[in-house]
Amino acid sequence: MKRLLLVIGVVLTAVPLGSQAQTAAADRWTPSRTPDGHPDLQGIWTTQTFTPLERPQRYAGREFLTEEEATELTKLLTQEGVDPLAGGIFAASDEERRKRIRQIDPTHYNNADWLTTAQPKALSSRRTSLIVDPADGKIPPLTAEARQRAADRRAAGGFDSYENRPRQERCIVWTHEGPPMMPPPYNDVFQIVQTPGYVVVFRELATSPRIIPTDGRAHISERIRRWTGDSRGRWEGDTLVVDTTNFNDKTAFQGSSAALHVVERFRRVSADTILYQFTVDDPATWTSPWSAEIPMMQTEGPLYEYACHEGNYGMVNTLRGARVADKEAAEETARTPRR
| Series of mean pLDDT values for 10-residue runs along the chain (339 residues) | 37 45 68 95 91 91 92 78 65 66 54 53 82 97 95 77 76 84 86 97 87 97 95 97 95 90 97 96 97 93 84 82 90 82
Give CA–CA dist 230/265, Å, rounded.
16
Give the pLDDT of residue 17: 46
Q: To 10 degrees, the CA torsion angle through 49, 54, 57, 61?
A: 100
Give the pLDDT of residue 101: 55
What values do phi and psi take at 18, rounded to 5?
A: -175, -165
Give the pLDDT of residue 317: 85
> 208-217 long-range contacts, Cβ below 8 Å, gap at least 24?
210/177, 210/178, 210/179, 212/242, 214/240
Give the pLDDT of residue 167: 79
Give the pLDDT of residue 9: 38
* Beta strand 239-245 pairing with 261-270: antiparallel
Give the pLDDT of residue 78: 73
Give the pLDDT of residue 4: 36
Residue 230: closest CA among 248, 245, 212: 245
47 Cβ neighbours under 8 A, 6+ residues apart: 124, 181, 182, 183, 188, 276, 294, 295, 296, 297
Give CA–CA dist 203/206, Å, rounded.
5
Give the pLDDT of residue 14: 42
Q: What is the DSSP letter of 34?
A: -
Q: pTM of the entire structure?
A: 0.83
Give the pLDDT of residue 334: 87
